[in-house]
């Protein structure tokens, strides 16, 4: 199952290389064409190949979601490590702040912040801003988990002993704490990735995703609510489902290393 899930994700990432059309090439002789030998999944209203656009949209979502997830867990880990060095009473207040922020759905904050971006912003900048916003609001859960883990690890004898012998705090963190936190960070990344994919797609569904000419799975799925849609309009939804389910399958095979939390 893990090999199949990884293979599906790799196939989606490499699919644009095997498309005979580019995502922005217009075939003016085939507008809104049905699937045929030239355009396997038909074309859109301006004659762009649907297969090429769906493949590129999937790559944008997966790469962008992975980058946003990596940045989010990095921010969360750094903040958690910083608060873990504070006195117990202050750390308790920080934990209360994390809990309060976690009570607010982070994707709603992403919607509000994305709506504040000026409409005349370049499409490439909007794509970068979108994933930066998702990373900027998605770090809270990682911070809570890492902070809780650090509180459990700090009293451990194998942490207190090197500190008592004069080993620097940085060396203790890198040599003792980080190996135990790595499985947690890896699990947080795989848990956050499908959430990022769904959040980016949801932005596209309501018109806050990538603007034209950049392809977006959310914008493509939004065509399902328009009259006259066809079965091939379900392909973007299938691509999103395959991406999310593949990541979920990888999550199911995570096993903590012996001796780690």
pTM tops 0.75? yes
Cα(181)–Cα(21) distance, integer angstroms: 44
Report the pLDDT value the prediction gives residue 253, as an integer from 0 to 100. 60
pLDDT at 261: 41
Nearest to 107 by CA among 202, 216, 185, 218: 202
Q: Report the alpha-carbon distance of residue 33 to residue 21 in Å, rounded.
A: 14
Phi, psi torsion values for 227, nearest 5 degrees: -70, 145
Q: What is the pLDDT of residue 52?
A: 94
Cβ-based neighbours of 222, under 8 Å, separated by 6 or more: 204, 205, 207
75: burial class by Cβ within 10 Å (0-12, 13-18, 19+)?
middle
The whole-number pLDDT of residue 81 equals: 83
CA-to-CA distance for 113 and 115, rounded, in angstroms?
A: 5
pLDDT, residue 148, reads 82
* The predicted structure's pLDDT at residue 189: 92
Encode pLDDT of 56-74 as tens digits: 999 999 999 999 999 999 9
- Kindly give the parts of the chain with pLDDT less than 70: 1, 88-91, 252-261
Q: Alpha-carbon distance 37 to 27, whole Å? A: 14
Residues 6+ apart with CB under 8 A from 166: none
Of 149, 132, 19, 28, the C-alpha closest to 77 is 149
Cis preceding linkage at 213, omega within 30: yes
C-alpha distances in Å from residue 85, one per residue of 79, 115, 174, 190: 10, 37, 15, 27
pLDDT at 13: 87
Note the pLDDT of residue 225.
Answer: 78
The domain locations on the chain are: 2-251
101-158 residue pLDDT tens: 777 777 778 888 888 998 889 988 999 999 999 998 888 888 888 888 888 887 888 8
Helix, strand, coil fractions of the chain, as percent rounded to 5 = 70, 0, 30
Contact 73, 188 (CB under 8 A): yes
Indicate the fold that domain 2-251 takes in CATH.
Answer: MetI-like fold (1.10.3720)
């Amino acid at each position: 199952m893990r090999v199949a899930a990884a293979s599906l994700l790799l196939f989606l990432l490499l699919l644009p290389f095997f498309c005979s059309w580019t995502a922005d090439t217009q075939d003016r002789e085939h507008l809104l064409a049905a699937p045929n030998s030239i355009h396997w999944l038909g074309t859109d209203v301006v004659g762009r190949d649907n297969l090429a656009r769906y493949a590129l949209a999937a790559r944008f979502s997966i790469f962008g979601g992975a980058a946003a997830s990596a940045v989010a867990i990095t921010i969360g880990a750094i903040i958690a490590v910083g608060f873990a060095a504070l006195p117990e009473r202050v750390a308790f207040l920080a934990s209360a702040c994390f809990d309060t922020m976690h009570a607010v759905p982070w994707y709603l904050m992403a919607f509000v912040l994305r709506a504040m971006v000026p409409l005349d912003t370049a499409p490439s900048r909007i794509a970068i801003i979108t994933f930066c916003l998702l990373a900027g609001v998605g770090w809270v859960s990682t911070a809570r988990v890492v902070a809780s883990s650090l509180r459990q690890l700090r009293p451990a004898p194998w942490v207190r002993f090197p500190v008592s012998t004069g080993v620097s705090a940085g060396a203790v963190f890198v040599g003792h704490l980080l190996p135990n936190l790595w499985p947690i960070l890896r699990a947080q990344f795989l848990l956050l990735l499908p959430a990022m994919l769904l959040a980016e797609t949801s932005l596209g569904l309501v018109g806050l995703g990538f603007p034209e000419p950049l392809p977006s799975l959310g914008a493509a799925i939004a065509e399902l609510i328009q009259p006259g849609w066809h079965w091939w309009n379900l392909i973007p939804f299938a691509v999103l489902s395959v991406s999310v389910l593949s990541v979920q399958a990888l999550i199911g095979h995570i096993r903590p290393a012996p001796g780690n939390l």
